[in-house]
């Protein structure tokens, strides 16, 4: 993570995950020394065009209705802006109570993914909930913007799916791919995980291949001061990794997204999406 200069960017809304997003973002900011920014994004309204009923109700009636709709939309925009400011103030109070420094507060009017792309150059790590307020009760699907954001950004993304718990046990899902090597590099170099024990887990590889992968990774992690528990698992990664996470009470899982190995599960839309749906504790994704 030291290779990514910039800020910790936390996306908040009215969902039940926003408090935990603030808590995890505070933890990342305090551990890394990176400044913290809280972002509330206001989506553009996509009102349907008014059907031309002037022949039926008269031109003046149509113009009056158009004006009323414009007034309603302007009022809606003002209310959303004020609601966002209230959310940002509450989030700021929470991160300050967590011990973080005064956060920068931002509001943007755009699709969330578009906003994040515009801000990407200054993101050190992005923190967001697994689902936003519109879909927070739908446990069978991911948030509307999550997959698009993971696909679009090339920064570490911490996906929050539960109440905050200070990470003490880490799992690194490692398959030797470029993305998982980035997760390994973060584990070695970042102050975020300094001195924490790491469960180095490889799934679906032959014994010789798993041993080869884990030997090199273990040496790097040991040299950085980590205790390493190296484990090779059989079966599908999308089943084995969540089960291991639950069995060993793993607090935070690091893994690559868009991994392209011979295991075809390791592409977003398969392993990454399944992990986001099945995992009970946060995931830190790298591309």
Specify if 35 maps to a domain. Answer: yes
Q: Are residues 19 and 92 in the same domain?
A: yes
Specify if 53 maps to a domain. Answer: no
pLDDT at 258: 56
Specify if 194 maps to a domain. Answer: yes
Q: Are residues 156 and 257 in the same domain?
A: no
pLDDT > 70? residue 92: yes
pLDDT at 68: 73
User: Of 160, 186, 207, which residue constitutes the final position of a domain?
Assistant: 160
Q: Are residues 245 and 153 in the same domain?
A: no
Q: Are residues 132 and 211 in the same domain?
A: no
- Alpha-carbon distance of 13 to 15, in angstroms, equals 6
Neighbours of 284 (CB within 10 A): 25
Q: Which range is least confidently modeled, 198-207, 253-262, 275-284?
A: 253-262
Q: Are residues 96 and 134 in the same domain?
A: yes
Q: Are residues 191 and 229 in the same domain?
A: yes
The residue whose two tokens read 């400011």 is: 85
What three-state secondary structure class fits 199?
Answer: strand
- The mean pLDDT value for 256-283 works out to 69
User: Of 160, 187, 209, which residue constitutes the final position of a domain?
Assistant: 160
Q: Are residues 246 and 218 in the same domain?
A: yes
Specify if 50 maps to a domain. Answer: no
Q: Are residues 152 and 208 in the same domain?
A: no
How many helices and strands (H and E) does the chain possess?
A: 9, 10
Q: Are residues 261 and 282 in the same domain?
A: yes
Each residue of 165-201: pLDDT tens digit? 999 999 999 999 888 999 999 999 999 999 999 999 9
Q: Which is more confidently placed, 264 or 40? A: 40
- The mean pLDDT value for 44-54 works out to 47
Q: Are residues 139 and 178 in the same domain?
A: no
Q: Are residues 121 and 202 in the same domain?
A: no
The range of the structural domain enclosing residue 240 comes to 170-286
Specify if 247 maps to a domain. Answer: yes
Task: Report the predicted TM-score, pTM, of the whole model to 2 decimal places.
Answer: 0.84
Please enumerate in sequence order all residues whose Cβ is within 8 A of that of 256, keeping only pairs 6 or more positions apart, or say none.
173, 175, 177, 178, 179, 180, 181, 182, 183, 266, 285, 286, 287
pLDDT > 80? residue 13: yes
Q: Are residues 179 and 279 in the same domain?
A: yes
CATH number at residue 280: 3.40.50.620
Specify if 67 maps to a domain. Answer: no
Residues 244, 231 contacting (CB under 8 angstroms): yes
Q: How confident is the model at residue 59 (pLDDT cuts 50, 70, 90)?
A: low
What is the number of domains present in the chain? 2
Return the DSSP state at 14.
S
Q: Which of 138-152, 204-218, 261-275 has the highest mean pLDDT?
A: 204-218
User: Of 160, 189, 208, which residue constitutes the final position of a domain?
Assistant: 160
Specify if 236 maps to a domain. Answer: yes
Specify if 75 maps to a domain. Answer: no
User: Percent of the chain at pLDDT above 90?
Assistant: 59
pLDDT at 262: 38
- The mean pLDDT value for 51-68 works out to 60
Each residue of 186-245: pLDDT tens digit? 999 999 999 999 999 999 999 999 999 999 999 999 999 999 999 999 999 989 999 999
């Amino acid at each position: 993570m030291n290779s990514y200069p910039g800020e910790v960017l936390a996306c908040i809304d009215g969902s039940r995950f926003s408090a935990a997003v603030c808590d995890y973002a505070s933890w990342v900011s305090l551990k890394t020394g990176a400044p913290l920014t809280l972002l509330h994004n206001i989506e553009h309204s996509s009102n349907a065009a008014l059907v031309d009923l002037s022949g039926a109700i008269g031109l003046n009636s149509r113009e009056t209705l158009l004006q009323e709709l414009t007034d309603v939309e302007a009022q809606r925009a003002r209310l959303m802006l004020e609601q966002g400011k209230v959310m940002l103030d509450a989030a700021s109070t929470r991160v300050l109570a967590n011990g973080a420094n005064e956060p920068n507060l931002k509001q943007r009017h755009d699709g969330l993914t578009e906003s994040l792309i515009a801000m990407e150059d200054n993101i050190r790590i992005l923190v967001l909930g697994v689902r936003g307020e519109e879909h927070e009760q739908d446990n069978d699907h991911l948030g509307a913007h999550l997959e698009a954001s993971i696909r679009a950004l090339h920064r570490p993304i911490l996906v929050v799916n539960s109440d905050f718990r200070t990470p003490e046990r880490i799992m690194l899902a490692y398959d030797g791919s470029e993305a998982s090597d980035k997760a390994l590099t973060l584990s070695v170099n970042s102050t975020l995980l300094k001195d924490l024990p790491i469960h180095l887990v490889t799934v679906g590889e032959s014994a010789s291949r798993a041993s080869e992968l884990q030997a090199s990774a273990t040496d790097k992690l040991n040299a950085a001061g980590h205790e390493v528990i190296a484990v090779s698992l059989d079966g599908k990664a999308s089943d084995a990794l969540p089960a291991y996470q639950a069995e060993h009470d793993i607090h935070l899982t690091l893994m690559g997204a868009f991994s392209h190995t011979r295991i075809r599960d390791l592409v977003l839309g398969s392993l990454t999406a399944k992990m986001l749906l099945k995992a009970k504790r946060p995931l830190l994704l790298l591309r």
